[in-house]
Amino acid sequence: MNLPLRIRPADLEGPPYQKLVQTLAFQWAHANLLHQIPGNNDHVTTIRTLLLTTQDPERTQTIVQAILDQATRLHKTSAWVEQEIKFEGMITGADRADFLLFELHQAGTIDDDLLDSYNLRLNRFTTTE
């Protein structure tokens, strides 16, 4: 398969990216999440943005599936999924642990919710067997 060196917005309109985005959006729309809005077109936009940010279809798929797994397991909302996908896109290319520590440092007051978020994000891609 001849993939472009850089994924551009126009590339998302055809194979293989369009199918990947549709598949991930379908998984998100049908995940067992609190306050899920079926057929939400924002899912597609959020995933497309993540793909353009990561420039890596496999990484995009890994991120979305890890977040959906966490959200289902922890009974999170679809809004939480969107927030976490945007967070993962934002830290693409940054050192994950350093960024998370920086976020804690910038918070000023550290409470249980912030620590829970820190731990979820830090351990999102580790297997818990």
The pair of three-digit structure tokens given for residue 115, joined into one six-digit string? 């620590």
**Block residue for tokens 């199918």:** 19
Q: Residues of the chain whose pLDDT is less than 50? A: none
- Would you state the pLDDT for residue 129? 57
Comparing C-alpha atoms, which of 4, 5, 45 is closest to residue 22? 45
d(CA 57, CA 36): 25
- Would you state the pLDDT for residue 11? 93
pLDDT digits (tens, 9 = 90+) for 38-74: 556 689 999 999 999 999 999 999 999 999 999 999 9
Which residue ranges make up each domain of the chain? 12-92, 95-123
- Would you state the pLDDT for residue 44? 93
Conformational region of residue 88, where left means phi above 0, alpha means psi within -120 to 50, and beta covers everything else: alpha
DSSP 13: G
